[in-house]
């Protein structure tokens, strides 16, 4: 291995005591491949196992904590105890290859397709449709329902503990329910769950504290709790970098194991609330100021790009699309075979890359998402 890549392979211990054998993470990526009942499929399990041998940590695709929180076809379920064996199967598969396993937990909120939730009852902080799901106007949640969903995040955390995961990631990014409560676009409430910035922080904070409470009560071994966030929204009104700084300050007080930025491009510049003298990730690292480890992500393909990413001050780096294109990325860097790393794929690579058919169809039929070479 070249000396400049050594920082990628340094071990890292999270606040909870979970120990990672390197600084590289498999990013959470929806794969649309569970069975109709919501169980992890054989193809899905094989896909994860194929990519778990090199990275220090695998963060799974999101699992929904409430029946009306399902966001995708082929999403595996975590909202009932009957799914613990399915969740355990995935955790065991990941851990058998040497990586730590983190279950990402979420509620889709207004992003849920009406056909996937009971009675088509799509819910959110307020009755405001999204630009991503414009045909559906969600129903505003009652206070009792909000409190119930908070408990559901805790219950799914308990299931993750029972299934043998090493932690959970609270999905507060990508426009889903937790972000909807923080967003001035989605949240127009005038009660204790919405209004000014402090009240829009109430739901994310309540979820974090309920998850932490359940971990303290049920976990018998080190168990990590992370939080993923999107730093900005395109909508007006929408989340700005300035508001995200307040979110980070609040989360930094909650004894979390990490904060995980959701970005398509690692070095992307801010839109609003911070100037362009620094990238979003640099602003975030500066604001967090070492209080919580930061996971960076976004279109990192080569080991040189990964090494440069660590110069931003992040503690951990997640690879998403690149681990689909090159499942053995970590091993090739470690073994000095970086010249053999693939950064594009072809339409004939599905079997070789061990990618389930629903995900493969999305890859080859979504222009611009993956670098598909003809």
Report, as residue numbers or ranges, the catalytic residues: 176
Closest CA to 195 of 182, 213, 176, 179: 182
Strands (E), the chain: 12-13, 19-20, 24-26, 57-64, 100-106, 123-124, 139-140, 167-172, 224-229, 258-261, 294-296, 316-319, 345-346, 372-373
> Which residues lie below 8 Å from residue 238, measured CB to CB, with a gap of 6+?
183, 184, 185, 232
CA-based diameter of the chain, in Å? 58
Contact in structure between 62 and 29 (CB atoms under 8 Å): no
| Beta strands at 12-13 and 19-20: parallel, antiparallel or unpaired | antiparallel
Q: Is there a contact between 193 and 138 (Cβ–Cβ < 8 Å)?
A: no
Residue 12 near residue 316 (C-beta atoms within 8 A): yes
How far is residue 292's CA from residue 358's CA, in Å, rounded to a whole number? 36
């Amino acid at each position: 291995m070249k000396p400049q890549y050594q920082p990628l392979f340094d071990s890292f211990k999270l606040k909870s005591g979970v120990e990672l054998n390197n600084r590289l993470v498999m990013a959470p990526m929806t794969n649309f491949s569970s069975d109709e009942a919501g169980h992890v499929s054989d193809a899905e399990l094989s896909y994860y196992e194929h990519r778990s041998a090199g990275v220090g940590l695998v963060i799974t695709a999101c699992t929904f904590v409430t029946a009306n929180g399902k966001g995708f076809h082929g999403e595996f379920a975590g909202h009932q105890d009957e799914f613990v064996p399915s969740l355990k199967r995935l955790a065991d598969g990941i851990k058998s290859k040497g990586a730590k396993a983190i279950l990402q937990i979420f509620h889709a909120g207004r992003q849920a397709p009406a056909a996937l939730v009971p009675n088509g009852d799509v819910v959110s902080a307020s009755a405001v449709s999204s630009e991503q799901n414009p045909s559906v106007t969600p129903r505003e949640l009652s206070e009792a329902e909000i409190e119930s969903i908070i408990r559901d995040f805790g219950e799914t955390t308990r299931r993750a503990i029972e299934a043998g995961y090493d932690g959970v990631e609270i999905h507060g990014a990508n426009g889903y329910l937790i972000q909807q409560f923080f967003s001035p676009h989605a949240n127009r409430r005038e009660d204790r769950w919405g209004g000014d910035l402090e009240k829009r922080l109430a739901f994310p904070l309540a979820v974090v504290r309920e998850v932490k409470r359940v971990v303290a009560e049920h976990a018998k071994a080190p168990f990590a709790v992370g939080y993923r966030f999107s730093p900005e929204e395109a909508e007006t009104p929408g989340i700005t970098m300035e508001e995200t700084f307040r979110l980070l300050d609040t989360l930094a007080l909650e004894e979390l194991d990490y904060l995980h930025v959701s970005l398509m491009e690692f070095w992307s510049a801010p839109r609003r609330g911070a100037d362009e003298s620094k990238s979003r990730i640099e602003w975030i690292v500066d604001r967090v100021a070492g209080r919580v480890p930061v996971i960076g992500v976004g279109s990192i393909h080569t080991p040189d790009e990964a090494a440069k990413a660590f110069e931003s001050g992040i503690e951990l780096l997640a690879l998403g699309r690149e681990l689909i294109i090159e499942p053995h990325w970590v091993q090739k860097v470690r073994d000095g075979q970086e010249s053999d790393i693939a950064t594009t794929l072809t339409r004939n690579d599905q079997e070789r890359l061990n990618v389930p058919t629903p995900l493969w169809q999305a890859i080859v039929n979504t222009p611009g998402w993956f670098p598909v070479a003809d």
